[in-house]
Structure 1
């Protein structure tokens, strides 16, 4: 998996890192049980503070994507990612609302919005699972 951070972005570095790890899992580049670099190693490799990597790893652990062991290190959760719950779906709807509202304000049709969503979804499922 290749991590590419945009240091000029308004998005915090830890959030960019978190999103890219989740994308790696979604694309099948990272499979359940796959090891990730240690906090120190990844921080050194991409040139960021180790606390930033630790924050991203801890968030992903809380969300069920990663498992962290003192002896084994960091790995994609070996039992797989928890399935979508009603709470997750409610959070997803809440996060999508601003994007849909802005799209409507910019005269993007429902069909165009769906087309963009379908293209992104296909990018993650193409040739993967």
Structure 2
């Protein structure tokens, strides 16, 4: 798994790690049951504090996206699609989506532009999943 982080971003590094893992699952780069690097190894690879990686993994665990086990480490939840069903309505996911849509409106994006971007993004995830994913 290869993660690209933007150290100049306003988004915290742990949130970026969380987001890149979710995107890798969505596009098929990380399949259900796939192992993630240990927090220490990923921290070394990214040259960041391991507590930052631990915070990202804990967030993913609380969201039901990964499972953390002392023996097997962090793995993508085997049934991630049903484990995250509660994210659909009235939760943090919905609030984050609302904020992103508000940003699009504030920046002058039209409904058609937002819709086209959403469709293209979802189609990109679907195409990657059909094609077997790949390195990220």
TM-score relative to the length of structure 1: 0.87
Superposition map of 1:89-128 within 5 A: 89-91=89-91, 92-128=93-129
**Counterpart check, 1:69 vs 2:69:** yes
RMSD: 1.8
Count residues in correspondence. Answer: 128
Structure 2 gaps, min length 5? 131-136
User: How many angstroms does 1:104 deviate by?
Assistant: 3.4
Bigger Cα Rg: 1
- Give the Cα separation in 2 of the matches to 1:103 and 1:6: 21
- Give the Cα separation in 2 of the matches to 1:104 and 1:19: 22
2-structure distance, mates of 1:128, 1:84: 19
Q: Does 1:33 align with 2:33?
A: yes
Bigger relative CO (Cα 8 Å, ≥ 6 apart): 2
Large movers: runs of 4+ above 4 Å: none
**Aligned match of 1:17:** 17
Task: Pick which of 98-107 and 40-49 moved more.
Answer: 98-107
Query: Taking structure 1 as reference, are residues 106 and 47 closer, same or farther at Cα in structure 2, changes over 3 Å only?
Result: closer
TM score, norm. by length of structure 2: 0.83
Higher alpha-carbon deviation: 76-85 or 109-118: 76-85
Match of 2:133 in 1: none
Distance change in 2, residues 1:44/1:115 (3 Å): same
Match of 2:134 in 1: none
